[in-house]
Amino acid sequence: EDQVTQSPEALRLQEGESSSLNCSYTVSGLRGLFWYRQDPGKGPEFLFTLYSAGEEKEKERLKATLTKKESFLHITAPKPEDSATYLCAVQGNSWGKLQFGAGTQVVVTP
Amino acid sequence: EAGVVQSPRYKIIEKKQPVAFWCNPISGHNTLYWYLQNLGQGPELLIRYENEEAVDDSQLPKDRFSAERLKGVDSTLKIQPAELGDSAVYLCASSLEATDTQYFGPGTRLTVL
């Protein structure tokens, strides 16, 4: 069974203080690893898809990386608007089925 | 381009009452998903449709939950009767095909009293 574990559960950062979120996974045949951002009262918003170990993707202050066992979401010089819950999900042999982690709640204070 | 639309956004009902949620996916998206999200947890897949066909409903509690996607566009998820433990956010998502990125709607927050 596919499993995803995210750490830490919560992260409080000062504005400009860079940090990383971890997503550890076990999956039968990784077809893709996804990062989503979720604001309170809203649905998850797609950020990145990573397909193979060594792959990296960037968007503004966010950079996602992938190894064979985990993915990292690096937040560089965060701003208060980066405050959200970040969700990691994997897609294994079952097309269309995403297995999500519980998320990391990030709060960035001015 | 309009995103995934869901209604209602909030619903409060008494236990044992029926409730229904509606979803309109992104135009042209053949695959539609219903997820359940409990507080502090990630979404969990309930059912996946490819066009009109439910191709994965293994996680749907079929004794009280039902879903339909008539004409392969809009979808409705129903609970009858609702139980206290059904209180959660129900998310709808869609993708071009099952191999593509899933885009989520805003969800319906259900409270069962």
Residue B48 belongs to a domain with what CATH number? 2.60.40.10
pLDDT at B41 over 90: yes
Residue B91 lies in a domain: yes
Residue A1 makes CB contacts below 8 A (sequence gap 6+) with none
From B56, B99, B104, residue closest to A44, measured CB to CB = B104
Q: Which one of A44, A96, A101 has the shortest CB-CB distance to B48?
A: A96
pLDDT tops 90 at residue B1? no
- Give, for B37, the enclosing helix (H) or strand (E): strand B31-37
Which residues does chain A have within 8 Å of residue B55's beta carbon, measured at their own beta carbons? 96
Nearest 5°: the CA angle A97, A100, A11 is 160
pLDDT higher than threshold 80 for residue B99: yes
Q: Are B47 and B35 in contact (CB under 8 A)?
A: no
Residue ranges and CATH numbers for the domains of chain A are: 3-109 (2.60.40.10)
B36-40, B58-62, B65-69, B88-92: which has the minimum mean pLDDT?
B58-62
Q: Compute the average pLDDT of residues A16-43.
A: 96
Please answer yes or no on whether A95 and B45 come within 8 Å at the CB atom. no
Domain membership of residue B113 (yes or no) is: no
d(CA B73, CA B96): 12
B41, B55, B58, best to mutate vs chain A, most A CBs in 10 Å: B41
Nearest residue to A75 (alpha-carbon basis) of A17, A12, A7, A14: A17
- Whole-number pLDDT of residue B81: 96
Range of B62's domain?
A: 5-103
Q: Could you report the per-residue pLDDT of B64-96, keeping only the tens digit for each?
A: 999 999 888 999 999 999 999 999 999 999 999
B49, part of any domain:
yes
Q: Which residue has the tokens 């409903």?
A: B57
In a domain, B87, yes or no: yes
Task: Tell me the backbone φ, ψ of residue A59, rounded to 5 degrees.
Answer: -150, 110
CB spacing of B107 vs A42 below 8 angstroms: yes
